[in-house]
Structure 1
């Protein structure tokens, strides 16, 4: 971040360390139980004030229409809710893959909300910003609140937790996955018995799973191949509805060694797990 009124902020990735689907609600959404954790890797947003009140975005997001762009939607919703006349020029450095299950769009929206709240000196609370974020998507509130969390409902009922913070190697097998296509699949498991947060945490990482993984395996052979390859080398799992998968490693040097083995046809990166969002760390540094 600079001292010139321009904010440069991270929009970190998330992992679903666990994802159970325990039912389907009357409104068509699925009832979930999940564990969210952040990564020390993600997109970067630069936000600069505009005196003319306009909101402009520089981003190369092929296939994402203006109306669907969560950054613009977040900025416009915050401007409307606050009544401010301020504007902003937003630049996105996109590193996270679209449709990867890493929450990139939701994280970008949360960084927009928190960053513009600071840039425009609005003083809105995290609770208010999280409520605005929920209007944009179920994953936005966890990024706004900024702490690893046990999530229930459609993922919006959050309880902060402390998880282990190993290194991860994240692999994108080069395919895009539509979340509605997975949640709409007839073969998707929707009746996992609910468990308590305490039981989930007591079981630990070795007992965690993702209920979407069998469906994604069946529908996307390249993801299945990547899961098999990675699973032979380290404990591995799908995040969200995919397409990204992650392997858990104890040490950075182990992550580096695994990263060096990844087949060239797949994109991959390594990153540490974080219980506190790098976005909140960056905002704190700005305030100090």
Structure 2
């Protein structure tokens, strides 16, 4: 096989608790990562030389800093021998800085796809370790399951969630994850909960209040969305907000009424992504 085309799925944080901060500055957290059947599309085609290309390049991200290229470079270094080059084409549908995992999902998809195309056969645990070095949200996309997560997001337990449809809205602002996690007003001492407590509604996003204060666009989006669903909340550190619905039609009816400044999409919940089938045990 010399070519692959894959979905790099989005994720939602159905809740996000920050339970502490480690000596190295990273935050301990609890979250439930919900995978969606919507995301960026990535295609990979091997070349006759050793060059790695990316089309299109993202204007706001230097080539070598792009997580897609960083993931490819990690595997090149591990191989220890010459590998074929690869043309990578990105069809970008997920907003940058939205808290729905676009860059992390792209990196995970690249690790899995090139491990397969380059026939490196690195096992799942090695890929998970490499992914964690690139970013805290990357392992969940490599594992490929909707999952309960702890630690910095790397301790994953596959978790069954109800089938439903999500409306995801993007306010017209960019939220810096680094700014939110370093902010003095961020809650960092939420008590850990069990899965049962989440199921009974005992959870929230600890970043949401702070982001709403710093970014009125997020606050306004949530105020509007709460008119249609009590489940409305923010994902990750934002800026995207979401709500669940029982049917695609219900979600579509709400999206059709969205204010013009809010872009959005509708996606179905996924228990496991197609990427999972390409990850060696």
Same fold (TM over 0.5): yes
Alignment of 1:1-288 (within 5 A): 5-86=2-83, 87-196=85-194, 198-203=195-200, 206-234=201-229, 235-280=231-276, 283=278
Rounded to whole Å, the distance in 2 between the matches of 1:233 and 1:88 is 46
Rounded to whole Å, the distance in 2 between the matches of 1:264 and 1:84 is 52
Rounded to whole Å, the distance in 1 between the matches of 2:276 and 2:250 is 28
Rounded to whole Å, the distance in 2 between the matches of 1:59 and 1:192 is 41
Could you list the runs of 5+ residues in structure 2 that have no partner in the other structure? none
Say how many residue pairs are matched. Answer: 278
The structural deviation recorded for 1:84 is 4.4
Could you give the per-residue CA deviations for residues 197-219 of structure 1, whole angstroms, max 9, x where no partner exists?
A: x334542xx44311100000000
Rounded to whole Å, the distance in 2 between the matches of 1:141 and 1:236 is 26
Q: CA 1:88 to 1:99, structure 2 compared with 1: closer, same or farther past 3 Å?
A: same
Rounded to whole Å, the distance in 1 between the matches of 2:46 and 2:102 is 23
Stretch moving more, 101-110 or 179-188: 179-188
SS of the aligned residue for 1:243 comes to coil
With the length of structure 2 as denominator, give the TM-score of the two structures: 0.95
Rounded to whole Å, the distance in 1 between the matches of 2:261 and 2:33 is 28
The structural deviation recorded for 1:195 is 1.7
SS of the aligned residue for 1:67 comes to helix
SS of the aligned residue for 2:63 comes to coil
Cα RMSD, aligned residues only: 1.6
